[in-house]
Structure 1
Amino acid sequence: MIGAIIGDIVGSRFEWDNHRSKDFDLLTYKCFFTDDTVMSLAICDALMACKTDYSDLSEQAVRCMQTVGRPYPNCGYGGMFNKWMYSDSPEPYNSYGNGAAMRVSGCGFAGNSIDEVKMLSHEVTAVTHNHPEGIKGAEATAVAVFLARSGRNILEIRDYIDKHYYPINFTLDEIRDTYKFNETCQETVPQALVAFFESTSFEDAIRNAISIGGDSDTLAAITGGIAEAYYGIPTHIRKHALTYLDERLLNILLEFENRYPSKLEKIQSSGSVSFKEEAVKTEKRIGGRGVMMQSAMDAADEALKKSSSQPEETSSQKLFSHLFEACNILRGPINQDEYKSYVTPILFFKRLSDVYDEETQAALELSGGDEEFASFPENHRFVIPDGCHWDDVRAVSENVGVAIANSMNGIERANPDTLYGVFSSFDDANWTDKNKLSDERLKDLIEHMSKIRVGNENYSSDVMGDSYEFLIKKFADLSKKNAGEFYTPRSVVKLMVKMLDPKPGDSVYDPACGTGGMLIEAIRNMRDDKSTYGKIYGQEKNLATSAIARMNLFLHGARDFKVKQGDTLKSPLFLHRGELQTFDCVIANPPFSLKAWGADQFSSDIYGRNFWGSPTDSSADFAWLQHMVKSMDKKNGRCAVVLPQGVLFQGGRGGEIRKQLIESDKLECVITLVSGLFYSTGVSACILVLNNNKLPEHKGKVCLIDASKIYTAQRAQNIMTDEDVEEVYNLFKNYGSVVEKAKLVSIEDIKQNDYTLSVNGYIERAPMETVNPKEVKKKFFAALEETIAAEENLKSLLTEGGYISE
């Protein structure tokens, strides 16, 4: 909570004397707290004083803002708010001033979900700023605080704000010279958010906000609240800021932080590192100002001491923000749907160079400084030829694009078995086109990426790989091009892997591996055991996507994996003695209902993959299924595949194939999922789980699970949380019937139902509650009256605000 206060105090001396630079003394004797601090703490007081169900939060907000605020008549209240503050019957006054947003940080810390945070924000805002823009500005701020506090990365927060509140289509550099003082939410909140989005630390965020001028204290207060939730507060800044607060305000702050512990930020050689709240929680004593100040100072020092044992590892937050800034450097000459083709290979190039340097250093230490020994190939996982290292490119000042291209090509040629194609697959990246990418811009990109090291010692493979996977999703969202073909929701991947449960030593194969997410999750399930080496296989049709899969697996620390590029249905590449190679676990999310996929060739397939029949050229769904079944180990093979729900009930050739699937007794489970779950598509999907070695009690049976109601709704897209995944997994594990959720049926039952697998047709439903028609009519008219009253109220507000006339 102190982040907003620090922003207010730092910005206080610049509100009427703007400083359009990031170079200034942060906290000086000229600084002071303003109404932003007072009202932020008043809202915190209200959140602590109200009932646990928040039913009286609005009343408490009014009471606390007046009680806490009146002792500070000269702290900078606006004219309308000042009248409201001292009124005996305060009423909202249709404002959209930025005071709505500067005071709501506490809601982001107190709420337990986005919906709850939105509700809290509305309750404390509408008592004064009941204009839609005021409500919106406050909500956007509180939600950003919540997302930051919840561990979302900076790109994800930016994406959420851009979709739901304000278009983030500008940079601070673009507005710094022209931005004017403005007290509205719509001209303050977006700018404050961008100050956070372009930051690399808490202090950097505050400096960003000050540097654009305008209403400096409020801008920095909004930015500071979000930045604290994301980065935490450096100890020396926290301790200094506390000295500006009097006893009354300090008491509220410490009580709030005792309930909602703060976060600590440490700036290390590797960058900004934040420590989770539970790791630094230290109770602060409440009493006189001296007692509270000493307690708060001691708590800050203790938190810093506790954090000192943490490894100095670059945080994922640092990487996210850093990569996003790389996109900003390219913005303009490079379209946003091309970012992937530039940022992906440049990140991988930097990663390879940093890992190579680590291996060199380890060899030097082992050999007592023998440089010749350190250069031996056996000391490295790959070769970086002379002149192709990151440092070689960094030393170039002219024809930088040529140097980048030559280095990437050189690394590929030197590592034909492991790295060939990982750079050249991005054939739409034209590094040497100076009309598109000048030497100056490329130097900026190289220097920017040089600021952090991305070797194994700086990042665990999980942090690096997970960051990269999220980046893939962001690129997919920006390009809007067939994103669903190569990004499967992580929750679905986790569920499928949990059901297959690959063990160390098992072989895993994904015939439509996309960017490798399912293979990575399988490796994680096997705890990255060394027995996974040489047991991970994937094939992907798209050249660039297959390169990303190899990068992705490498960044996750996978070793000796095999990812090949090619059309699996037309030309499967994993063969053994002229036949399809078989695997313990086969898992995939193949492209839904692929058309013109090669049905004629499949009808006479030399590998015998049409053993249940050949589908038509209008959909490859059952071709994928048969390929995967044929690829299962005959004794222990398991399979999990995502397909559109049409495969469960369609007739024709698909119906014939489904009949043979059922009669084979390989089908173990069918799970139907909610629509809108898969990226960039509203198609309803299902998961089929097959097993060549079903448990005796599973034989002759199929477990049908309706997971269409087991999800968490979000405004843009439905998701499955970890709890949702666990619920579905337990239904599978228990393998029984549960009213409304699961039904265990025999093959004979399915036969009697014409071999359809429509889950809804089998699931037992709870008896429907009958409602008296008179009661329904009564509720209808009550709702109608409420609607009419709401419309009249809206009309009145619009008229009062001058938006419409009678």
Structure 2
Amino acid sequence: MSTLGSFIWSIADQLRGPYRPNQYGNVILPLTILRRLDCILEPDRDTVRALAAEYENPMRLRVEVKKATGRPFYNTSNYSFANVLLEADDLADNLADYVDRFSADVDVFEYFDFKNEILALEKAGLLRAVVTSFKGVDLHPRTVSNADMGDAFEYIIRKFNEAANETSGDHYTPRDAIRLLVDLLFAEKDVDLTEAGIVRSLYDPTAGTGGMLALAEEHLLEQNPDARLTLFGQEYNPQSYAICKSDLLARGHDATNIVFGNTLTDPAFVGRTFDFCMSNPPYGVDWKQYAKAVTTERAAAGKYGRFAPGLPATSDGQMLFLLHLAHKMRPPSEGGGRAGIVMNGSPLFNGAAESGPSEIRRWLLENDLVDAIVALPTNMFFNTGIATYIWVLDNTKHPDRTGRVQLIDGSAFWTKMRKNLGDKGREISNSDRAKVVKLYTDFVDGDPDRSKVLRNDEFGYWTITVERPLLDERGNVITDRKGKVKSDSKKRDTETVPFTYGGSTEGAVGMREVVEAYFAAEVKPYVPDAWIDWTKVKVGYEIPFARKFYKYVPPRPLVEIDTDLEKQVLKIQELLRGVEG
């Protein structure tokens, strides 16, 4: 739990009455952002005001401010938290002036409609008390680190959403899950990342409050303080966007790299690719309202578009983000890229052969883009206890990993939390994370309980249609005018034939031989008159994660079960005698 978050939440108690709990965030979140930026700007306030008096052109002023302060943003108002409370009658106007005079890249307060909120606070008689409370807390990064600030924002959002009976999962991802994703994402490139003065780019199309971007940067700087990670992101939730952008401003990044909007319908950074990509998209959420835009784009872009491989069902759009990330990785000709994405279990196996999801898996696997899939512990997220997985994509795999996918069962690597936060009762400790990363870097297939390394073709299969002859009332086979036997649709069946049946390593090209061998051994002995309709053979791909780690546990012996039952019966009899006595 964030101590700072608790303190800021206590300020929200002043809003009781005029404001309902689900409205607190409209006040507390923008004021927290404003106070943090205020603390950052304070040391150079007089310098910036002097420059503003000298340079009227915003572009020139921005350049001069950057030279003088090292920051890309500024505020030219004569007001700040230091003096905005001094005038008794004009607090609302003065605070609005302060918000208005930020540089153009600080657009975050527009997404809270904050100036109208200032007027509402003034009307309710609460503005002075709330501003006074915020003036008393130092939010400068030297006092409150970026990581602690991120924790505070996430705590506040979770509390507000609990009060409003809404989900917090759309806004952010638990830090322990992000740290594991970051470690896995950078693991294969750790040696390269230690180069002096290295510059890399990181992109998150579902940036939320910016937690993934922030922790990825921290990871890289811990390894190499001279490194530079340029951060890019897009977010469609107004409050989350504002928090994310303000966090990057506080870190000294170019905040224009964070864009507001829907990645699926209005993607930012078109034509640009990145060294690293990360995402925790919403899952189990339909995209019906975006379907027209997505399908139109797919048709117009053709085989090179981001959605070209296929489309998932409109009831769940997470695989659209999976395709988007694969599309945004830097191409191999420019050094290659890696991506990490958190999803639930359905993208592993949903959809029949040649359905949209199956075709997406097929494209990823046949192009050797899937590097590893890691199962996370359950009860890891704040709004769901379901099983989740990290997919790691790589378009320039290490030679040892080429043509293979590593499956890691990390579901047992967790530590119980002292207190549940929503549905989150487990966390991945530093030691838990180290064990999972070691399994990844060791790349061993010899651990049947935790790690398996499989060829890409081991996930492929054919769905074959088995036909049987149609008979008349006398039992005679019916044929058409050309003498071809008619099939009985009521007896029609399908069979699933793995690419690897019979030990085959030929993959998709071995279809005829493998399918015929399967049919001869598994079908023909039981229905001698059956045949395969080769025109209906379909190719499918699935990743049966749980099945790969399944271990048969024999049932307990009947004698042991009977003994236990007898013991329980005796206990019940003793209890009954006590009641009767």
Question: So what's the TM-score if we normalise by structure 1?
Answer: 0.53
- The answer to whether the 8 Å contact 1:643/1:687 transfers is yes
Q: Provide the alpha-carbon RMSD of the alignment.
A: 3.4
Aligned position for 1:570 = 265
**Hey, what's the Cα distance between the residues in 2 that align with 1:324 and 1:467?**
10
Tell me which amino acid in the other structure corresponds to 1:604: A
Decide whether the 8 Å contact of 2:347 with 2:357 is kept in 1. yes
Task: Give the direction of change, closer, same or farther, for the CA distance of 1:322–1:489 in structure 2 (3 Å limit).
Answer: closer
CA distance 1:688–1:333, shift in 2 (3 Å): same
Deviates more, 1:530-539 or 1:738-747: 530-539
For the residues of structure 1 that align with 2:89 and 2:564, how far apart are their CA atoms?
Answer: 75
Q: Residue 789 of structure 1: CA displacement?
A: 7.7
1:385 counterpart SS class: coil
**Counterpart AA for 2:81:** W
Q: C-alpha deviations, 1:73-125, integer Å up to 9, x for none?
A: xxxxxxxxxxxxxxxxxxxxxxxxxxxxxxxxxxxxxxxxxxxxxxxxxxxxx
Q: Of the candidates 212, 234, 238, which is equivalent to residue 518 of structure 1?
A: 212
Three-state SS of the structure 2 residue aligned to 1:623 is helix
The structural deviation recorded for 1:633 is 0.6
Matches within 5 A, 1:485-634: 485-501=170-186, 503=193, 504-527=198-221, 535-555=230-250, 557-561=251-255, 562-575=257-270, 580-593=271-284, 594-596=286-288, 597-598=290-291, 599-606=294-301, 608-634=305-331
Q: Deviations over 1:360-386 (max 9, x none)?
A: 58999xx9xxx999x973433232223
Separation of aligned partners in 2, 1:499 and 1:472: 27
Deviation at 1:432, TM superposition (A): 4.2
Shift in Å, 1:479? 3.2
Would you say 1:719 and 2:426 are equivalent positions? Answer: yes
Give how far 1:509 is off. Answer: 0.3
- Which of 761, 764, 772 is the aligned partner of 2:557? 772
SS for the counterpart of 2:315 is coil
Q: How much does 1:535 deviate? A: 1.4
Q: Which of the numbers 355, 379, 383 marks the counterpart of 2:68?
A: 379
- 2:104 equivalent among 413, 416, 428: 416
Structure 2 CA distance for aligned equivalents of residues 604 and 790 of structure 1: 73
2:515 alignment partner in structure 1: none
Instruction: Give the Cα–Cα distance (whole angstroms) in 2 for the partners of residues 719 and 507 of structure 1.
Output: 31
Aligned residue number for residue 441 of structure 2: 733
Deviates more, 1:771-780 or 1:501-510: 771-780
Going from structure 1 to structure 2, the CA distance change for 1:353 and 1:657 (only over 3 Å counts) comes to closer
Partner of 2:84: 393
Aligned to 1:701: 404
Q: 1:619 to 1:463 in 2, by over 3 A?
A: closer
Q: Which has the higher strand share?
A: 2
Task: Give the 3 Å change call, closer, same or farther, for CA 409–622 of structure 1 in structure 2.
Answer: same
Residue number in structure 2 paired with 1:640: 340
Secondary structure at 2:374 match in 1: strand
- Structure scoring higher RCO (CA < 8 A, sep ≥ 6) equals 2
Provide the rounded CA distance (Å) in 2 between the counterparts of 1:720 and 1:587: 20
- Tell me how far 1:583 sits from its aligned partner: 0.3
Counterpart in the other structure of 2:357: 654
Q: Is the 8 A contact 1:649 1:757 kept in 2?
A: yes
Deviation at 1:764, TM superposition (A): 5.5
CA distance in 2, matches of 1:474, 1:584: 35
Please tell me whether the aligned partners of residues 150 and 211 of structure 2 are also in contact (alpha carbons under 8 angstroms).
no
Q: What is the DSSP-based 3-state SS (H/G/I as helix, E as strand, rest coil) of the residue aligned with 1:571?
A: coil
Contact 2:248 2:254 (8 Å CA) reproduced = no
Superposition deviation, residue 770 in structure 1: 5.3
> In 2, are the aligned partners of 1:671 and 1:704 still within 8 Å (CA)?
yes
The C-alpha deviation readout for 1:345-367, integer Å capped at 9, x for no partner, is 11222222222222358999xx9
Partner of 1:689, secondary structure, is: strand
Which residue of the partner structure matches residue 762 of structure 1?
Answer: 548
Q: State TM-score, norm by structure 2.
A: 0.71
Q: Is this contact kept in 2: 1:514–1:540, CA < 8 A?
A: yes
Give distance in 1, aligned partners of 2:99 and 2:247. 17
After superposition, give the CA deviation of every residue in 1:324-364 in whole Å (9 maximum; x if it has no partner). Answer: 22111122322222222211111222222222222358999
Question: Which residue does the alignment assign to 1:74?
Answer: none
* Structure 1 residue 704, shift from structure 2 partner: 1.1
Aligned partners of 1:358, 1:788: CA distance in 2, in Å? 79
Deviation at 1:662, TM superposition (A): 1.1
**Is residue 298–residue 308 contact of structure 2 (8 Å, CA) maintained in 1?**
no
| Cα deviations by residue, 1:377-433 (Å, 9 ceiling, x for unpaired) | 34332322233322342223335444433322332xxx113x12x111013784345
In 2, the alpha carbon distance for the partners of 1:361 and 1:458 equals 22
Distance in 2 of aligned mates of 1:786 and 1:508:
63
- Superposed, 1:250-329 pairs within 5 Å as 317=3, 319-329=4-14
Deviation at 1:547, TM superposition (A): 1.0
* C-alpha distance in 1 between matches for 2:569 and 2:557: 19
Letter in 2 for 1:773: L
Q: Is the 8 A contact 1:400 1:439 kept in 2?
A: no
